[in-house]
Amino acid sequence: MSSTSTASTLAAPAALAGHRQALESAVVRFAGDSGDGIQVTGGRFAEATALSGNDLATFPDFPAEIRAPAGTTYGVSAFQINFGARRILTSGDSPDTLVAFNPAALKVELADVKPGGLVILDTGSFNERSLRKAGYAADPLTDGTLDAYRTLRLDISQLTLDAVKPFGLSQKDALRCKNMWALGLVYWLYDRDRRPTVAWLERKFAGRTDLAQANIAALNAGHAFGETAELPGDLPAYVVDRAPIAPGLYRAITGGEALAYGLVVGASLAGLPMVFGSYPITPASPLLHTLATLGQFGVVTLQAEDEIAAVCAAIGASYGGAIGVTSSSGPGIALKTEAIGLAIAAELPLVVVNTQRAGPSTGMPTKTEQSDLYQAVFGRNADSPLVVLAARSPADCFDTAIEAMRIATRYMTPVMVLSDGYIANAAQPWRIPDIAALKPFPVHFRTEAEGFQPYHRDPETLARNWAVPGTPGLEHRIGGLEKDYDTGHISYDPANHQRMTEVRRDKVAGVARDIPPQRPESGNDHGPLAIVAWGSTYGPIARAVAVLRAEGLDVAHIHLRHLWPLPADLGDLLSGYDRILVPEMNTGQLLTLLRSAYLLPAEGLNKVSGQPFKVHEIEAAVRARLAAQRSSSPEGIER
């Protein structure tokens, strides 16, 4: 059954298109042991897909354990990609195709697969021992488990061994090529070009020609298998057309990378070096890892002894005239809280990134949630306002980070940026911006000694002057104690404390005047129903609203980047809708803000399972509300 082909025998995709079923979009998930090269496989598929002109979004799902035992359900690593001929906003609700490299992967992932979806199995990995490890009491291949799905049961292990035989690899090395065999088959299934993957393999195994050739042979064999083998008649091959994507230069980017680049670019637009203090924590560490490689771009990274030192070093750096940035996830942010209060009192710029994760305390570190909004807005002792922004997608992290830098330096205030575990790890194609086209916001340090007082404020922004140690004539002392409004000296004067508290509040509130007007992402600025949301729910909501609006349903989608202060015109905008629905991956935190700010009867749609919303969940919630509204409205009764 083995068959090999070489790169020169690649079939032109168009030649096959006639026999293929056209899809608007598709979701594929690869799953197997960490050692099966799942992430590499997914990454290659994503690259080939991007090059074929589809829009796409990907999400890796790593096991929480670093080296989980092979074959166990908790050791399953997965990679999902949603791609299409239209705009793709999420990594997909449920897979159309699952490639399961072992029983554990099947056990973990099968429930997610669409009914009638395709399950590709490596039967070579199914034996009594592996089934037991995966927790199967009976053989899922025969006990009806797979009845609701179309299956392709292939001994991929053996097919791979056959394909790579000419290269004389050890059994272990040979079997490691099976991900490429499966990838070749899936390439055939979805009509992807193998050439970028061939080129990648040649680069990756530059020093090991045998490995490169074996992997390429496996890839081609998998592809040829699809072309030549007699596959079941109900198994069509597909084609997914190019998506209408804006022309330009693209790259794939994760939220973690986009945040890192946004911070670097933002610091340069402010004209400042950056000091990044951080302490390892899941899922925030990728930001530290990316920034640690960017020293030549004016970034100094400090892996601090703890979360508190990380934020304190950032504050010390801002005091010294750099822009201090710190990053963590919820539990770490909690530890930084007192120091953030210091930055608020000392009125120093600071960017705090919170890559949110699920649950109180340690919770579920690798699972996503957006439940730190209360913490961000309210979570400090005393009246301690700061600015809170949220990124909606991996690419949006770039723009949000720049906005954080702008506000922090212009207003001399800490700014908290909320991302989450989903955004940080998910990847999407990103049209690379031209930095020269971005508007700089250079910082002007105070140098004029005449009339200097450390807490004198800009009348418009209420930001105090930024006078940096080393500047002659501006020597002054600051700290966490309350300061006199005029001189900045320690003051316990009651009226002064009232005034200082109010000016700190007004300064942050004033940021609302300095942000773009809030418009709906889609839909009208009035109507029966608006969805108001923030953060990574953007993808599923935008997709659901697109579907619903295409059906003629009148629903609007408003997505907030600025969460504190809320946009100045948001109250007016929201007053134009009969109902407000607030989907959140928490128990109703934005909901509380909106209700308290505008006294609105807004309603929550809350999911706290550690999983992102699915598009159909949002759709269903909207349909239910619009239907209820119709039946309860006077017109509805008449009809």
User: Phi, psi at residue 147, to the nearest 5°?
Assistant: -60, -35
Question: CB count, 10 Å around CB of 168?
Answer: 10
Footprint (CB under 8 A) of other proteins, residues 183-222: none
User: Phi, psi at residue 422, to the nearest 5°?
Assistant: -70, -55
Over the window 19 to 48, marking each residue x when it contacts other proteins by CB under 8 A and - when it does not, the resulting string is ----------------------------x-
To the nearest 10°, the Cα dihedral for 212, 218, 222, 225?
Answer: 130
User: Phi, psi at residue 82, to the nearest 5°?
Assistant: -115, 125
Contacts of 340 (CB under 8 A, 6+ apart): 311, 350, 352, 380, 384, 386, 414, 416
Contact 504, 565 (CB under 8 A): no
Q: Is 349 in the site for other proteins (CB under 8 A)?
A: no
Secondary structure (DSSP) of 407-433 = HHHHHT-EEEEEEEHHHHH-EEEEEPP
Footprint (CB under 8 A) of other proteins, residues 104-163: none
Q: From the CB of 3, what's the least distance to other proteins, in Å?
A: 30
Question: CB count, 10 Å around CB of 8?
Answer: 5
Among 1, 51, 620, 628, binds other proteins (CB under 8 A): 51
* Candidates 128-136, 372-380, 465-473, 554-562; binding stretch for other proteins (CB under 8 A): 465-473
Question: CB count, 10 Å around CB of 227?
Answer: 16
**Per-residue tokens: 477:** 């002392």
Over the window 301 to 320, marking each residue x when it contacts other proteins by CB under 8 A and - when it does not, the resulting string is xx-xxx-xxx-xxxxxxxxx
Among 14, 246, 495, 550, binds other proteins (CB under 8 A): 246
For residue 430, give the amino acid letter: W
DSSP code at position 7: G
Among 116, 135, 469, 517, binds other proteins (CB under 8 A): 469
Secondary structure (DSSP) of 290-304 = HHTT-GGGTEEEEE-
Q: Is 299 in the site for other proteins (CB under 8 A)?
A: yes
Q: From the CB of 269, what's the least distance to other proteins, in Å?
A: 8
Q: Is 247 in the site for other proteins (CB under 8 A)?
A: yes
Q: From the CB of 321, what's the least distance to other proteins, in Å?
A: 6
Closest CA to 77 of 111, 48, 109, 55: 109
* Candidates 103-111, 172-180, 210-218, 321-329; binding stretch for other proteins (CB under 8 A): 321-329
Among 129, 153, 251, 513, binds other proteins (CB under 8 A): 251
User: Phi, psi at residue 109, to the nearest 5°?
Assistant: -100, -20
DSSP code at position 125: G
Closer Cβ to other proteins, 42 or 103, answer by number: 42
Q: From the CB of 452, what's the least distance to other proteins, in Å?
A: 12
Contacts of 566 (CB under 8 A, 6+ apart): 512, 560, 593, 594, 597
Among 338, 482, 554, 603, binds other proteins (CB under 8 A): 338
Q: From the CB of 274, what's the least distance to other proteins, in Å?
A: 9
Over the window 270 to 289, marking each residue x when it contacts other proteins by CB under 8 A and - when it does not, the resulting string is -xxx-x-x------------
Contacts of 599 (CB under 8 A, 6+ apart): none
Query: Helix (H, G, I), strand (E, B), or coil: what is residue 114?
Result: coil
Distance between CA atoms of residues 632 and 624, nearest Å: 12
Q: Is 461 exposed, middle or buried (0-12, 13-18, 19+ CB in 10 A)?
A: middle
**Per-residue tokens: 91:** 């990594």
Among 322, 373, 423, 541, binds other proteins (CB under 8 A): 322
Among 11, 141, 245, 546, binds other proteins (CB under 8 A): 245
Footprint (CB under 8 A) of other proteins, residues 578-617: none
Closer Cβ to other proteins, 169 or 339, answer by number: 339
Strand (E) or helix (H) holding 61: strand 55-61
Closer Cβ to other proteins, 436 or 495, answer by number: 436
Query: Helix (H, G, I), strand (E, B), or coil: what is residue 567?
Result: coil
Over the window 484 to 523, marking each residue x when it contacts other proteins by CB under 8 A and - when it does not, the resulting string is -----xx---------------------------------
Closer Cβ to other proteins, 240 or 312, answer by number: 312
Distance between CA atoms of residues 117 and 566, nearest Å: 43
Distance between CA atoms of residues 451 and 465, nearest Å: 12
Closer Cβ to other proteins, 131 or 240, answer by number: 240
Closer Cβ to other proteins, 475 or 578, answer by number: 475
Among 141, 478, 512, 597, binds other proteins (CB under 8 A): 478
Distance between CA atoms of residues 91 and 395, nearest Å: 14
Closest CA to 593 of 571, 618, 625: 571
Q: Is 379 in the site for other proteins (CB under 8 A)?
A: no
Among 116, 135, 248, 636, binds other proteins (CB under 8 A): 248
Among 85, 186, 339, 560, binds other proteins (CB under 8 A): 339
Distance between CA atoms of residues 479 and 521, nearest Å: 43
Contact 501, 554 (CB under 8 A): no
Q: Is 479 in the site for other proteins (CB under 8 A)?
A: yes
Among 63, 324, 414, 421, binds other proteins (CB under 8 A): 324
Closer Cβ to other proteins, 358 or 397, answer by number: 397
Among 363, 365, 433, 527, binds other proteins (CB under 8 A): 433
**Per-residue tokens: 519:** 């418009």
Footprint (CB under 8 A) of other proteins, residues 435-454: 435-436, 438
Q: Is 10 in the site for other proteins (CB under 8 A)?
A: no
Q: Is 527 in the site for other proteins (CB under 8 A)?
A: no
* Candidates 295-303, 457-465, 519-527, 531-539; binding stretch for other proteins (CB under 8 A): 295-303
* Candidates 19-27, 243-251, 455-463, 574-582; binding stretch for other proteins (CB under 8 A): 243-251
Contact 210, 72 (CB under 8 A): no
Q: From the CB of 426, what's the least distance to other proteins, in Å?
A: 17
Among 38, 81, 131, 264, binds other proteins (CB under 8 A): 264
Q: Is 250 in the site for other proteins (CB under 8 A)?
A: yes
* Candidates 70-78, 124-132, 150-158, 426-434; binding stretch for other proteins (CB under 8 A): 426-434
User: Phi, psi at residue 480, to the nearest 5°?
Assistant: -85, -15
* Candidates 9-17, 34-42, 471-479, 526-534; binding stretch for other proteins (CB under 8 A): 471-479
Contact 583, 618 (CB under 8 A): yes
Closer Cβ to other proteins, 200 or 378, answer by number: 200
Contacts with other proteins: how many residues (CB under 8 A)? 76
Instruction: Write down how long the chain is.
Output: 639
Contact 78, 30 (CB under 8 A): yes
